[in-house]
């Protein structure tokens, strides 16, 4: 947990060897609106940054036990969700710009579930 806290106070570019990184929209639970965020997946933790140049993360989630699957939301294409292992844990919903980006992001998170990772330098989660 100390590593997660330390990483949250670091710029996203300073996290060595991220498993995946890129832009996706995340559904805000408080306001029920979509916020575009730069996400970095590192060691089963998903860090949220306002953008690629942000000095610190705005949040982080430990994804151990989460399950990733497509979902449908009224008026939105290319949505998927990360379902927690326990009902009291936070449910995460994401929106990608294209079907291709959605599939790549889902694959990255599913690989995490299976215990192996994909590295990429693209602009989107891969």
The DSSP code sequence of 45-67 is EEEEESSTT-SS-SEEEE-TT-E
**Residue 104 contacts by C-beta under 8 Å, 6 or more apart in sequence?**
124, 125, 126
**Coil, helix or strand for 73?**
strand
Domain covering 2-114 in this structure, CATH number: 2.30.29.30
Give phi and psi for 88, each to the nearest 5: -85, -10
CA dist., res. 38 & res. 52, Å (int): 6
| Residues 42-100: tens digit of each pLDDT | 888 999 999 999 999 999 988 888 888 888 887 888 898 989 999 999 999 999 888 88
* Of 61, 25, 22, residue with least CA distance to 44: 61
Taking the domains of the chain in order of start, what are their residue ranges?
2-114
Share of the chain above pLDDT 70, in %: 87
User: The whole model's pTM is what?
Assistant: 0.80
């Amino acid at each position: 947990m100390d590593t997660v806290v330390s990483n949250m106070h670091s710029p996203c570019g300073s996290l060595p060897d991220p498993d995946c990184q890129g832009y996706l929209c995340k559904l805000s639970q408080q306001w029920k609106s979509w916020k575009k965020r730069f996400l970095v997946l590192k060691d089963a933790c998903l860090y949220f940054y306002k953008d690629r140049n942000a000095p610190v993360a705005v949040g982080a989630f430990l994804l151990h036990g989460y399950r990733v699957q497509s979902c449908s939301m009224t008026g939105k294409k290319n949505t998927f969700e990360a379902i927690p292992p326990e009902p009291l844990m936070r449910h995460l919903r994401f929106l990608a710009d294209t079907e291709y980006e959605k599939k790549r992001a889902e694959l990255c998170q599913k690989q995490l579930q299976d215990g192996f990772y994909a590295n990429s330098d693209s602009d989107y989660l891969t």
